[in-house]
Each structure stands twice: as structure tokens, then as C-alpha cells.
A and B are shown apart, each in its own frame.
Chain A
Amino acid sequence: MGTLTELCVLEAHHNRAWHVAWNPQGSLLASCGGDKLVKIWGEEGDTWVCKTVLEGGHQRTVRCLDWSPCGSYLASVSFDGTTAIWDRKGGEFECSATLEGHENEVKGVSWSRGGSLLATCSRDKSVWIWEVDEDQEYECASVLSSHTQDVKCVLWHPHEDVLVSTSYDNTIKMYTDDGDDWSCFTTLASHDSTVWAADLDCTGTRLVSCSDDKTLKIWQQYMPGNEYGVKTEGNNPTWKCVCTLSGFHDRPIYHVKWCHLTGLIVTACGDDCIRVFEEDKSCSDAVNQPSFHLLVTQSPAHSEDVNCVSWSPVRPGLLASCSDDGLVKLWQFTGES
């Protein structure tokens, strides 16, 4: 069991707050929402305050954010179809590039581990991979059109140049560069409705996905020649659903994050709650048949749908959340052991 303690409540956005993202140092939190703004929050004493408001970058809702691994750049994507790159020069943020190309709403953005690749995804069903050169020029390296419906979320593998995307078509897809071009090497189909988001654990061998079907699924990577006899194709791994968590969530699950410090999983749900899950340690076959248990349900965490949750990358148990109620909240998770 565990508890979530509310540390502070930030009146962040005039309407729906869609996304929160920590910088890699854990010193800044960025939030965005339906008011077309991006806000940067920093700690002062025992509270968090708005350090700066990034205005004018987008004409419509700002849907998603991601910091570059060095922490110098913030990418924001919007329903206006564009991606804005904010350059943090001497503490001041300046919009240094606007990436155009998607036909309509851009819904997700993710920076690769080395910072040289940026992925975006859109209602137009495509995933774009952008190459970033030393002069911070962005060039489209690939347009991936494997999904049959809008793409909700993109994320990069923590250690390899492998990209993951989730979609309204109920599937998750993974892509690699085969030396010639980027292509989809596997499709993970098990959810019954839109897959809103996914996250990889710190090893990159496990994926958690969350869906409109009110379930969480845990997927295991199996490499070619694996000892479990799971079939693979070519040099690519196979991903298999090894656990489904159902019955915990009452409404669509909009976001999920796997903490790389503690191994805990947190979910943001349309039933206004935040839930934290932990893997059972006493599992007989932890690779092929893992099981997870619920540690805490914060009910309600917000007064409306929770849209996004994010673990601090440096402080174990520190969590940020945001909601349709326009608020950003910070929480501290403490477990009983």
C-alpha cells in the first residue's frame, strides 16, 4: 500500500490542461493546454511558481510537450498542425523553429535519447521523424504511414533508436531504421479501443500501454533466439502482451508513466483518479507471467478528467498531474514497506 500527498496546486491553464513534462534535471516542469499556452514552473522555497509563459507559438490547443535530453530545448505540438521548438538561451525561452508538414492536429512529440531525432504524430495518421543537425536545423527524415487512424502518442526507446506509436486504430507500432529508411517492424494488437499512451521501463524491454478500453497492458520484449521459444522474425524482437490489468479504471485511461527510478507505474484516468501500481516481487515467472497490484487510488485527484501524469526523473515518488479542471498538481508518493 501507499499514499499520495498533495504538495501543491497550480492554477495553470484557463481551460483544459493537457500535458506536463519534467526537464531531464527535474528542476523545471512544463505544462500546456487549451488556452494555447505553454507554462514553465520552477521550485521556490516549498512551493512551485510559474517562471515563464511561452505565448504566441501556437494558434490552437497545445497538446503535448517534450524536453530534449540536454534540457536546452522544449518541443510543443498543437492542434494547429505545427511543432514549436523553444530554445532556452540563458534562461529565456525563445521559439527558434516551427516545424510544419502535418495536415492537421499534432498530438504527440518525443525526443530520442541522443537528441538528434524528434518524432511527431498526428490526426493525419502519420508519424514524422525529424533529424536535428548541429546548427539546430530540422529536416524531415521519414514519414511513416502504418497506422490506419489518428496517432495519439509517440515515444522513443530509452537506449536505442527504436520508436513506439499508439493509435485510435487500437494498435501500438514500433519502428527502426534498417539502414535505408525507417519502417514498422511490429504491430502490437490486443487492446479493444484507442491506445492513448504507452511508456517503456528503464531497461526498455517492457512496455505499458493504456487504453479507452479501460485496461492497462504489459508487453514483454523477446529477442531472436530467446530461451522461451518465442518466435521472432529476422533481427527484430517480438513483443508479447504478458499481463492485462482490468477492473481498476472506470473510464478511459489517458496517460501512463513507468518510473525509471522506482519501477512504479502511474495512470491518469477519465474518472478523475490517479492510480499507482507495482509489480509483484514474489511472482514465479516474472518474465512471461508477471503480475501487478494496485498500491493507491487517489480519488478524486482532480475535479475532472486527469489527462497526464509524470514522475520526476530525479526525485523518487515526486509526481506531476494535470486535468480538464485546468490545474497542475504535484504529489509525493510514499510506500509502506
Chain B
Amino acid sequence: MPLENINPVVYQVSDDREITADEENDDVVDLIDSREIFDLIRDINDPEHPLTLEELNVLESANIQVDDKASRVTIQFTPTIPHCSMATLIGLSIQVKLLRSLPTRFKVDVKITPGTHASEQAINKQLGDKERVAAALENRHLLAVVNRCLTPAK
């Protein structure tokens, strides 16, 4: 299949999170914040390019909202082009990564950054339908593709 976006803009990745003394102290409860969520998903591979979602600016720390006390996580991702046919797969990969990483109490909503995709509403609805997501993840071929996106390149 030909690439839809042959020359994507590659962005500078952010530095590693600085670990504070409090975070290393087991007696201090620290809540899950948006930077932690970002670190979980920034290295997901793009399905088409040998680049991460962070390098393509699909994911940005500022587009992640976390409310640990209410157990809610909302992530907006930005497809590189408004007709990207991979958008649903990218959203699914983000969802699966967090499903596998976060405590089960969390409600995770993965959506397209408003105004950045032609089929924004349809894709958001599909990603928000847990029955469709559950059925998709029982499909071995699709799961293999998702797992490839989630396997670190380096």
C-alpha cells in the first residue's frame, strides 16, 4: 500500500521526566498525572512510518487530561493528515496500551483533536464503543497489527 503522507514533519521529542525525591519515597502517595500517561504512550509506533506518535506530534502532553481521584483519562490525538486512514488504528493502539498499563478503575476516552480529521465524529464514536473495541481485540490479525504498534522499535 502506498504511503498516504510520504514526508511527514518530524518533531523534537521531549526530555525524560525528572524524578523528584518525593516520587522515590514510597511513603508519599503520588497521583497519576498527564506526564505519566504521556510517557506510557509517547513511544507507540506509527503504523506507516518508523517514527513514534510523539515524533509525529500525533500525541502531545498538553492534550492529555487526567483526574486520578475521579479515575478519568481523556486523550486527544492529532492525525498527521485530515484523511489519514490509520486514525482508528492509532486510537485503538493508544487505548490498548492504557488498558494494559493503568489500573482497571480508570475510564479512558481516546478522541481525535477537534477539527483535525474529516471523519472525526465517526472515529470518536467507534473508539468510544467498548463492545466494538472488545470485538476488534478478539480479531487475531488486528491484534497483531496493534501489538506491532506497541512493540518498541529500539
Contact = CB atoms under 8 A, between A and B. Distances in A.
Interface string A143-157: 000000010100000
Contacts of A107: 131
Contacts of B134: 16, 34, 61, 79
List 10 A-B pairs, minimum CB-CB distance, nearest first: A79-B135, A105-B135, A60-B138, A304-B104, A79-B138, A61-B138, A303-B105, A61-B134, A194-B129, A251-B107
Given A60-B138, A150-B132, 16 more contacts: A16-B134, A34-B134, A61-B134, A61-B138, A104-B135, A107-B131, A123-B132, A152-B131, A168-B125, A194-B125, A212-B125, A251-B107, A270-B107, A303-B105, A304-B104, A305-B130
Nearest to B130: A305
Interface of A: 16, 34, 60-61, 63, 79, 104-105, 107, 123, 150, 152, 168, 193-194, 212, 251-252, 270-271, 303-305, 324-325
Contacts of A16: 134
B107 A324 contact: no
Contacts of B135: 60-61, 79, 104-105, 123
B47 interface: no
Contact of A193 (B125, B130, B131, B138): B125
A271 B135 CA distance: 21
Interface of B is mostly: helix
A235 B135 CA distance: 40
Interface string B111-154: 00000000000000100111110110010000000000000000
13 contacts: A61-B134, A61-B138, A79-B138, A105-B135, A107-B131, A168-B125, A168-B129, A193-B125, A194-B125, A212-B128, A271-B107, A304-B104, A304-B105
Do most interface residues of chain A lie in helix, strand or loop, or is the interface mixed? loop
Nearest to A170: B125
A107 B134 CA distance: 12
B150 to A, nearest CB: 19
A304 B108 CA distance: 12
A61 B135 CA distance: 8
Contacts of B107: 251, 270-271
A270 B135 CA distance: 18
Contacts of B104: 303-304, 324-325
Contacts of A193: 125
A193 B131 CA distance: 14
B71 to A, nearest CB: 9
Contacts of A304: 104-105
Contacts of B131: 63, 107, 152
- Centre residue among A105, A251, A305 by max chain B CB count within 10 A: A105
A194 B130 CA distance: 12
Nearest to A251: B107
A278 to B, nearest CB: 28
A325 B105 CA distance: 9
A105 B137 CA distance: 13
B137 to A, nearest CB: 10
A17 B149 CA distance: 28
A310 B129 CA distance: 22
